[in-house]
Structure 1
């Protein structure tokens, strides 16, 4: 089995991107089962308390749609891809990392700030805490397309003046912003968006991620973070909450805690990676191609690739 970077060219300065929850799909671990990196699955399973091999190989879409299952499976699949990328191309020039929401934990492991064991433990605790928070206070999310962040923010503020519980959750690109809040508020805002000439798509989730609806998950996650050793690491990671490049250190505990209830500044993150960290190409590592597509919308002049493998033949 030979892995490769789609459209790769000689000597790029890569910014590596790791996806978040939502890209999971049945069988997504199959391409990696015959690789040397597969041993990571046992380590993640022991540290997180999940049967990750089952999630990656045999779980159906309904099983993978659970928040805790989705997070640990995407985290592991992305780590497998990263491990193989580094093993097969150890001299590739990686200048910085970032991850979208959950993917930030993958980035911290890839940067050496977290061990695989600590990263898996944190992702397991985060997934369980977020799932419980969503059970206590169900919510919803929607993607608003066709308008910039200012327009969507005004839409959200107008809804909140009318008593709706609604917040900006992700600023993904100049033309896509995700909002989160109560299901009533999210559904009611569809009419406002249409009136402003914006496209609107309610997402198939029952949690209002990156909003105050996740506050009940804060205490258990904070306890897990306080028990974690954030080391110096080897590469900078651009954080979701402030779109700034950070080296390793204990301050990551606060950044991860803030990320739980704060918006993901993804479009700003991509600009920082390119303009401040000097990345000349982006590499989306993990399931799906969501981040490569977003990168092309934010920075169309910068090459954006995916790292993938072909599906191996059965044993």
Structure 2
């Protein structure tokens, strides 16, 4: 997931490069256990010495002093938790929930306030709840600084739809309509072929995962693929439960730590292909608009500013392709070059933690509550 700085008058390109990776984290517990995505990352981030060394900076490339702008990043499915809307219920931005409920025909306040963990584990509920809360937060941010535009945006998996709203490519209403269909289609695909996901952590995790998944597909007809390239030394594999279990066993033999994720499908693999027609129909029904800032795409880790209609094809590819988040973060870092700071807008601080591991010399912030957002805007926005 890297890119060269795009110019507003031209095309955004990307140049890939491979980071150094941290040592195998100790203290993760058993070599294989089941964790939620948030719990897994929280445990990893608590370990000492797991961040890569900061790359050298060219002082001549540093921007002049001044108050930085904001680049927004949005988490996806896995960040949700019961009651996550409660801190926002009494804010003016909560009106967004009623408007989006009317747009998709579902009670989104109920998902944000009353749904339990089991209910939120379903892809359709998890995606609607997470996107809706991100739209509430985005409205609150915009109300705190009317007319403010952002330096760049990106989102992890589902979060890419929130990024497209922040950049002006989609309206919140159109995004929630599309995500309602996306989540339902992915739930149907997961019901048709049950899936599992597991994180692999340690030096060479990406290369090892690619080698092992390819070998299992070739020699055992196993259905398993790399689904997320999240940060140095941390990837996620996805596939059928038996194939993921076999992969995790081989990865442990190769010296990697493994942790099964508490998810309900083989996301970002070819097993999600049955969801494509329904998502394609939903995307075809909504217009796209010119972006007012670059958006970094999951499927290629590149920053895109022009041709908003091409996001339909990227969204379809994203269903069955790995999320190249590590490269996406490096693209943002190259794009921003210290002139803007990334802010995670959504429940939790998973992406801010991944940013710290991937780009340790550029600070990142997270805003999951009204108080955090107020502190952020008071400190960073003119």
Shared fold per TM-score greater than 0.5:
yes
For 1:28, the equivalent position in structure 2 comes to 84
Task: Using the TM superposition, give the Cα deviation of residue 91 of structure 1 relative to its aligned residue in structure 2, in angstroms.
Answer: 7.4
Rg bigger for which structure?
Answer: 2
**Which stretches in structure 2 are left out of the alignment for 5+ residues?**
1-64, 372-382
For 1:201, the equivalent position in structure 2 comes to 259
**Could you tell me whether the CA contact under 8 Å between 1:85 and 1:307 is conserved in 2?**
no
Task: Using the TM superposition, give the Cα deviation of residue 233 of structure 1 relative to its aligned residue in structure 2, in angstroms.
Answer: 2.8
For 2:207, the equivalent position in structure 1 comes to 150
**Which stretches in structure 1 are left out of the alignment for 5+ residues?**
1-8
Are residue 214 (structure 1) and residue 272 (structure 2) matched? yes
For 1:19, the equivalent position in structure 2 comes to 75
For 1:162, the equivalent position in structure 2 comes to 219
Task: Using the TM superposition, give the Cα deviation of residue 277 of structure 1 relative to its aligned residue in structure 2, in angstroms.
Answer: 4.2
In the aligned structure 1, how far is the partner of 2:92 from the partner of 2:248? Answer: 48
Are residue 272 (structure 1) and residue 312 (structure 2) matched? no
**Could you tell me whether the CA contact under 8 Å between 1:11 and 1:93 is conserved in 2?**
no
For residues 5-34 of structure 1, give each alpha carbon's deviation from its aligned partner in whole angstroms, at most 9, with x where no partner exists. Answer: xxxx97223221000001111111111111
For 1:100, the equivalent position in structure 2 comes to 156
In the aligned structure 1, how far is the partner of 2:297 from the partner of 2:352? Answer: 18
Question: Which of 126, 140, 156 lines up with 1:84 in the alignment?
Answer: 140
- Aligned ranges for residues 1-315 of structure 1 at < 5 Å? 11-90=67-146, 94-148=150-204, 149-163=206-220, 164-247=222-305, 249-278=308-337, 280-309=340-369
In the aligned structure 2, how far is the partner of 1:93 from the partner of 1:133? Answer: 37
Aligned length: 304
Q: What value does the CA root-mean-square deviation take over the aligned residues?
A: 1.8
For residues 227-246 of structure 1, give each alpha carbon's deviation from its aligned partner in whole angstroms, at most 9, with x where no partner exists. Answer: 11011132221110011111
Task: Using the TM superposition, give the Cα deviation of residue 151 of structure 1 relative to its aligned residue in structure 2, in angstroms.
Answer: 2.1
In the aligned structure 1, how far is the partner of 2:286 from the partner of 2:148? Answer: 29
**Could you tell me whether the CA contact under 8 Å between 1:48 and 1:123 is conserved in 2?**
no
| Closer/same/farther in 2, CA of residues 112 and 222 from structure 1, 3 Å limit | same
**Could you tell me whether the CA contact under 8 Å between 2:74 and 2:344 is conserved in 1?**
yes
Divergent runs of 4+, >4 A: 90-93
Q: TM-score, normalised by structure 2?
A: 0.76
Higher deviation after alignment, 130-139 or 152-161: 152-161
For the residue of structure 1 that corresponds to 2:151, the secondary structure is: strand
Task: Using the TM superposition, give the Cα deviation of residue 158 of structure 1 relative to its aligned residue in structure 2, in angstroms.
Answer: 2.0
| Closer/same/farther in 2, CA of residues 308 and 10 from structure 1, 3 Å limit | farther
Task: Using the TM superposition, give the Cα deviation of residue 162 of structure 1 relative to its aligned residue in structure 2, in angstroms.
Answer: 2.2
In the aligned structure 1, how far is the partner of 2:148 from the partner of 2:363? Answer: 15
Task: Using the TM superposition, give the Cα deviation of residue 61 of structure 1 relative to its aligned residue in structure 2, in angstroms.
Answer: 1.2
